[in-house]
Chain A
Amino acid sequence: MLFMELKITNLSKDFRKTKAVNQVSYTFHSGVYGLLGINGAGKTTLMRMLTTLLNPTSGEITWDGEDVFKMDKAYRKLLGYLPQDFGVYPDFSVQDYLRYIAALKNLTPTEAKEKVQEVLLLTGMTQFKGKKMRTLSGGMKRRAGIAQAVLNDPKILVLDEPTAGLDPSERIRFRNLISELAADRIVLLSTHIVSDVESVAGQIILMKEGRFVATGTTEELIAACPDKGWLCNVPKDEVYAYHQKYRVANVKTLSDHAQLRILSQDAPMPGAVPEETSLEDVFLSYFGERSGGEDGNGMV
């Protein structure tokens, strides 16, 4: 009986007074899931529980109906994990590192040898395999991190902020890689950047203050979003007032007036032109702030 169902039920994690994850329930099947939320939303905490690094305060996580903490290593066998704070062994070469993790993942030395070649190729790290990990750039470290995550062909691939600190070309490369990896597994990808997930994730989960505040496909989220985008031309001296009253997604200053993109249920002023709502708008509407940009200068 294998239907690949990762289910979380009323899952909570408290740190002292903080409810980092608060009564979350959800079911994952094969596909790419984008976990979207600002810094402190609880994404990392949720992922640490999903990877059995952290025991939940309450609630449960099951794989095909079985408690994952009871499954123990049988569950971890299915896991691939790229942590947000991804550390390396500075004195190991990339190849050493991957073979070591392969051993931890119960690959025989022969399997490991083959598989390591394969993931090096997949992540474009082949020519760097002899490099000591301390000398790797942030982007290369991240690639090595993804390489280790997929060594065991995981059924559940958990990637925590995998694009943080990557430059735009690396981001694109990375999105393509995710699409390649998506077949026949659950990929859970967290980010605070809308553009990271909007094209690759089939399902998007908006997480805020430990809760899932909205879930669905991009279209579903947009449809369900109470706010719409409106383009309004306002006098320059009223921009501040609009900022006070509405969520302003964008301001464009023109010669004699300002053009605002406002999120609101109804037209904020006569003559406002309704615009197509984007996932970015949905994000802004839920979080009250813009997601981090492509250049990675958002909140990390």
Chain B
Amino acid sequence: MAMVWYEIKKILLRPSCQIALLLLLALSSYICYQEVYGDEGVEWLTESGEWLKGPAAAREMRSAQEEWSGPLDQAMMEKALEVLKRYEEEEKDHPEDIDYRFQRIQPLMDIRDMLNLAGKDYYEWEADDFFIAETLTPETLPNVREQRIKQLENYLYDESSLAYSRFSQNEKEYLLSCYEKMDETIQMGYAQGWSHAFDAGYYVIFYGSIIMAFLVSGLFANESRRKTDAVYFSTEHGRKKGSAAKLTAGFLLTTAVYWALMLTLNGLILSMLGFEGGDLSILAEPMDNWRCIFNLTFRQRSLLALLDGYIIWMLFSGVAMLVSASTRSESLAATVPALLILIPNALNSYGITQGSSFWMNFFPDKMVRAYVGNSPYVLVEIFGKVMPMLYVQRFLYTVLIVVLTLVCWQIYRRKQVR
């Protein structure tokens, strides 16, 4: 144990690592700020025309949404429709107040989004369709569940759609079965705390993994760079237990930093924006999650994303340590994991790989993104069974972490000092 502690100390005492940790902290704080007060944060327009942000906005939104919480059944939809139409009418009497209508429909914005989305085929959406809800009547109110399924069917089986050839028959059936698992009626309610905590977590997992890899990248490589390896390998434990201690230190530090950071981040955002809504289906925020194939509550999604993020961080630390042990180069060890996530991410976001290339789907950026709102469906078929790539990655990455660790240990304990 003493060995593990000193290995961690080697990292923590290094100025460059201290800077990296500060950077991680600054980055997380910035993301946290953005998700609460900033551009991504919660906003609320008061009756007096004042824009509230952050916890104050969350407080207003929460109490205003109470009236619109509960199952989105016919009665609730009719009530929403009535209110929406009323404000559409009233708006005409208040031409001086451009925010008149918006201010008043804020509490039922999610329901309105739902009506908009279910009211017309999602894939035929255009800018002015933002007002579909108000065109509906009690008789034409959609069945949300059926509408979602129908839209997906149209998308998958329309010969002119990209999806038509992209997905196999099995995959199409799988996607539809995911939508069919959706509850008959969705529970609506306030869950801003959870959704913002999740969004913030996504960024921290993504960029933090790169910083974490940097932190552990010197563990092995620095021994030869600083020529401390000669003494190290000549000691009783230098080869077996010493190398194990290094790996333990790397993973322990990763674990500690990850959970401390992520739990603090989630705790902070939840306590600022509210813990309620964890039991609601993520579809209660339809704008973000309408296409999502995962039937999860906000709390489940947050927990799973936390675990997935942990796997990614551990994998990156593992890769960094393996490169560190086998190439003796700290910079290479820090760069390889960063490239593993940044390159595929860049390729995908510039549309170079169309997001559909089979091998590109194995990269970790896909895993980080798996639960993010309306990201593309990433599926694989294994022995005739279709599943989200996410499940395969969870399994593969976990196995990979174990394998990397063993390989790294084997490489380092046999290292010769020339």
Contact = CB atoms under 8 A, between A and B. Distances in A.
Contact of A81 (B227, B234, B242, B418): B234
B418 A54 contact: yes
Given A53-B416, A91-B10, A106 B237 contact: yes
Interface stretch (A3-11, A31-39, A93-101, A222-230): A93-101
B6 A100 contact: yes
Contacts of B229: 87
A81 B236 contact: no
Contacts of A53: 230, 233-234, 416-417
Interface of B: 2-3, 6, 9-10, 13-15, 226-240, 242, 416-418
Interface string A41-78: 00000001001111100000000000000001100110
B133 to A, nearest CB: 62
A180 interface: no
Contacts of A73: 236-237, 239-240
Nearest to B7: A100
Interface centre among B2, B10, B228 (most CB of A within 10 A): B228
Interface in A81-97: 81-83, 85-92, 96
17 contacts: A48-B230, A52-B233, A53-B233, A53-B417, A54-B417, A76-B235, A79-B235, A81-B234, A83-B231, A85-B230, A86-B227, A87-B227, A88-B228, A89-B226, A92-B10, A100-B2, A149-B231
A12 interface: no
Nearest to A48: B417
A284 B363 CA distance: 65
Interface centre among A73, A96, A100 (most CB of B within 10 A): A100
Contacts of A211: none
A202 interface: no
B344 to A, nearest CB: 35
Main SS of the interface on chain B?
helix
Interface residues on A, range: 35 or more
A148 B230 CA distance: 12
A155 interface: no
Contacts of A83: 227, 230-231
Nearest to A50: B234
A89 B232 CA distance: 11
Contacts of B226: 87-90
A105 B6 CA distance: 13
Contacts, number: 93
A103 interface: yes
Nearest to B4: A103
Contact of B14 (A88, A91, A145, A149): A91
A103 B3 contact: yes
A298 interface: no
B227 A92 contact: no
A104 interface: yes
Contact of A76 (B2, B234, B416): B234
Given A54-B417, A83-B230, A85-B230, A105 B9 contact: no
A104 B9 contact: no
B231 A101 contact: yes
A106 B230 contact: no
A51 B234 contact: yes
Nearest to A53: B417
Nearest to B414: A55
Interface of A: 15, 48, 51-55, 72-73, 76-77, 79, 81-83, 85-92, 96, 99-101, 103-106, 109, 112, 145, 148-149, 152
Contacts of A87: 226-230
A106 B14 contact: no
B228 A104 contact: no
Contacts of A101: 231, 235
Contacts of B13: 91-92
A89 B7 CA distance: 11
A14 to B, nearest CB: 12
Nearest to B416: A54
Contact of A105 (B14, B237, B417): B237
B236 A96 contact: no
Contacts of B418: 15, 48, 54
Nearest to B415: A53
A95 to B, nearest CB: 12
Closest 4 CB pairs of A and B: A87-B227, A91-B13, A83-B230, A53-B417
A52 B240 CA distance: 13
A83 B227 CA distance: 9
B16 to A, nearest CB: 10
Contacts of B3: 100, 103-104
Interface centre among A52, A91, A103, A105 (most CB of B within 10 A): A103
Nearest to A77: B236
Given A54-B417, A89-B226, A104-B232, A99 B14 contact: no
A158 to B, nearest CB: 8
B236 A86 contact: no
A76 B238 contact: yes
A51 B236 CA distance: 11
A76 B226 CA distance: 22
A160 B417 CA distance: 14
Nearest to A160: B230
Contacts of B231: 81-83, 86, 101, 145, 148-149
Given A48-B230, A76-B238, A83-B231, A99 B416 contact: no
B268 to A, nearest CB: 31
A183 to B, nearest CB: 22
Contacts of B228: 87-89
Given A104-B236, A106-B237, 19 more contacts: A51-B230, A53-B234, A73-B236, A73-B240, A76-B236, A79-B234, A85-B227, A87-B226, A87-B227, A89-B226, A91-B10, A91-B13, A92-B10, A100-B3, A101-B231, A104-B232, A104-B237, A104-B238, A106-B236
Nearest to A81: B234
Contacts of A85: 227, 230
Nearest to B242: A104
Contacts of A99: 2, 6
Contacts of A109: 2
Nearest to B225: A87
A100 B6 CA distance: 6
A164 to B, nearest CB: 14
Contacts of A92: 9-10, 13
A269 B103 CA distance: 117
Contact of A52 (B2, B6, B234, B237): B234
